[in-house]
């Protein structure tokens, strides 16, 4: 066998390692044998991980030509090395020489500021849980029913979400057969303390965001990102759910058509004639006469005197939309178990009455899974549904206002007709009258 001389002298009999695992695997079991199929998939994934590590080590050692690699281990040194690589992958161990925990290393990287020119964390940066700083709809006891807040077509699809939102039974069965699709959800490390987790569950319960369920199918984690900080006010954290496993069960939502700067640029503002430009100049050609008669031209200096805009931003909009009346949907939005006895003790220590639901549960069990009662930020369909709720509310409150979105002609503005550009939890109201956008905002 012909090999590179320099790496061979450097590494002796160790490299190159044989890339293919010397283990004969049986054929893939049929789909009916789920347990055997899962074991087969785990073994194959282990073989692939070992092979990738061997190839990487060979290339680092200077053996880049795969034709130089032996088919089987040639000595005890290679056999011992391959056993150690396989054992490390099988146990999923962090390298023994490392002094940094892998999760801590990842968290430290993700929590760095988005800008290298400021010491403050930018909006959207992953942030650890801080009691009292999470933005929650604490002024509500229950959210607005989504079935009463969307159009008829969306309502029918939600009531039969198994047929319209979930993947087909065949796709779900194939998904459950695979062990590679699902991973562990990220859950804020602070919630490893039962007391801290119970205290936060109490906040969610009092805000009408969760209930308790015995039929949870998927457990989701919770993470927090920083919100844009308002000067003079304490910073707030945005709660997001790690719904990656839940999203695997659902189809891809429809494309949500929104407004943008491009759509704003297509809005035309009627106004007075530009000083110095005569109609006779515009009608010098017959084809321009009709156009000049129908259109007026506005000077750039007059724009700010003609167009008025007001803005709205609904705080915690997603968590104000209740999904509780959709049968079975909450099964996909479970949260880790909470100690019910600690939860009840927290209510008593604060001089509050323990909710009846929690009292009944504590008589039967010690732990229970919370389930989301509102739209979960992190669910693939959450933005689409939130946009539908806002569009429906806008159509009912402002029937005379047109929607400004991409891929459609821009609305024609008039003193009595405004337009609105929506984006899930916020909106821009545009009008030629300074009173119209304020009224529509109300």
Q: pLDDT in tens for each of the 442 residues of the chain? A: 444 455 555 666 788 888 765 556 677 777 677 778 778 888 888 888 888 888 888 888 888 888 878 888 888 888 888 888 888 888 765 555 555 555 566 666 665 554 444 445 567 788 899 998 999 998 888 889 999 999 999 999 999 999 999 999 999 998 888 877 788 899 999 999 999 999 999 999 999 999 999 999 999 999 999 988 777 788 899 999 999 999 999 999 999 989 888 888 888 877 654 334 433 343 334 344 344 334 444 444 444 457 888 888 899 999 999 999 999 999 999 999 999 999 999 999 999 999 999 999 999 999 999 999 999 999 999 999 999 999 999 989 888 888 999 888 888 887 778 889 999 888 988 888 776 655 555 5
Beta bridge partners of 377: 379
Q: What architecture does CATH give domain 144-255+320-372?
A: Roll (3.10)
What tokens does 207 get?
């805000």
Tell me the C-alpha distance between 414 and 407, whole Å: 22
Give the residue carrying structure tokens 């503005």. Answer: 413
Total residue length of the chain:
442
pLDDT at 1: 43
Q: Taking phi first (over 0 means left), then psi (-120 to 50 degrees means alpha), and beta for anything else, what does residue 52 get?
A: alpha
pTM given for the model: 0.65
pLDDT at 74: 84
| Residue limits of CATH 3.10.10 in the chain | 144-255+320-372
The helix/strand/coil state of 435 is coil
Closest by CA to 291, choosing from 275, 307, 308, 268, is 268
Beta bridge partners of 310: 429
When computed from its CA atoms, the radius of gyration of the chain, rounded to whole angstroms, is 30
Tell me the C-alpha distance between 103 and 88, whole Å: 17
In order of 46, 49, 59, 63, the CA distances from 18 in angstroms are 16, 14, 12, 12
What tokens does 298 get?
């506005």
pLDDT at 440: 55
- E strand or H helix at 429: strand 426-431
pLDDT at 9: 59
The CA-based dihedral angle spanning residues 80, 81, 83, 87, taken in that order and rounded to the nearest 10 degrees: 140
Tell me the C-alpha distance between 329 and 373, whole Å: 9
pLDDT at 416: 76
Report whether 371 contacts 213 (CB < 8 A).
Answer: yes
Cβ contacts of residue 272 below 8 Å, gap of 6+? Answer: 296, 297, 298, 299, 302
Closest by CA to 165, choosing from 243, 258, 254, 82, is 254
Tell me the C-alpha distance between 12 and 391, whole Å: 70
What tokens does 68 get?
């130089």
What tokens does 242 get?
């790690």
Tell me the C-alpha distance between 77 and 137, whole Å: 62
pLDDT at 100: 54
What tokens does 332 get?
């996909």
């Amino acid at each position: 066998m012909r090999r590179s001389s320099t790496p061979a002298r450097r590494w002796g009999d160790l490299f190159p390692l044989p890339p293919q695992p010397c283990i004969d695997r049986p054929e893939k079991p049929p789909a009916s044998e789920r347990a055997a199929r899962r074991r087969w998939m785990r073994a194959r994934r282990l073989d692939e991980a070992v092979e990738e590590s061997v190839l990487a080590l060979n290339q680092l050692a200077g053996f880049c030509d795969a034709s130089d690699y032996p088919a089987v281990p040639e000595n005890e040194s290679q056999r011992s090395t391959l056993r150690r690589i396989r054992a490390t992958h099988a146990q999923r161990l962090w390298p023994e020489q490392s002094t940094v925990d892998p999760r801590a290393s990842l968290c430290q990287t993700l929590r760095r500021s988005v800008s290298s020119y400021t010491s403050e964390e930018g909006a959207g940066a992953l942030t650890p849980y801080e009691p009292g700083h999470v933005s929650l709809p604490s002024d509500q006891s229950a959210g607005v029913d989504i079935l009463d807040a969307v159009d008829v077509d969306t309502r029918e699809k939600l009531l039969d979400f198994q047929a319209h939102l979930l993947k087909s039974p065949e796709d779900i069965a194939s998904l459950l057969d695979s062990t590679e699709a699902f991973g562990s959800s990220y859950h804020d490390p602070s919630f490893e303390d039962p007391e801290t987790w119970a205290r936060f569950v109490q906040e969610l319960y009092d805000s009408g965001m969760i209930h308790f369920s015995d039929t949870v199918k998927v457990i989701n984690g919770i993470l927090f990102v920083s919100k844009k900080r308002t000067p003079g006010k304490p910073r707030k954290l945005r709660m997001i759910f790690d719904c990656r496993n839940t999203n695997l069960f659902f189809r891809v939502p429809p494309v949500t058509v929104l407004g943008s700067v491009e759509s704003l640029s297509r809005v035309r503002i009627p106004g007075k004639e530009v000083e110095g430009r005569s109609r006779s100049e515009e009608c010098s050609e017959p084809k321009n006469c009709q156009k000049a008669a129908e259109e007026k031209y506005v000077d750039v200096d007059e724009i700010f005197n003609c167009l008025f805009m007001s803005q709205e931003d609904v705080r915690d909009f997603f968590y104000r939309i209740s999904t509780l009346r959709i049968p079975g949907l909450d099964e996909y939005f479970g949260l880790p178990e909470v100690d019910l006895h600690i939860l009840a003790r927290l209510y008593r220590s604060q001089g509050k009455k323990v909710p009846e639901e929690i009292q009944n549960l504590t008589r039967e069990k010690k732990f229970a899974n919370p389930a989301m009662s509102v739209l979960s930020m992190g669910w693939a369909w959450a933005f689409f549904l939130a946009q539908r709720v806002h569009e429906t509310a806008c159509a009912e409150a402002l029937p005379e206002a047109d929607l400004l979105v991409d891929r459609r002609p821009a609305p024609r503005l008039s003193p009595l007709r405004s337009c609105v550009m929506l984006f899930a939890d916020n909106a821009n109201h545009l009008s030629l009258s300074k009173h119209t956008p304020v009224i529509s905002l109300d």
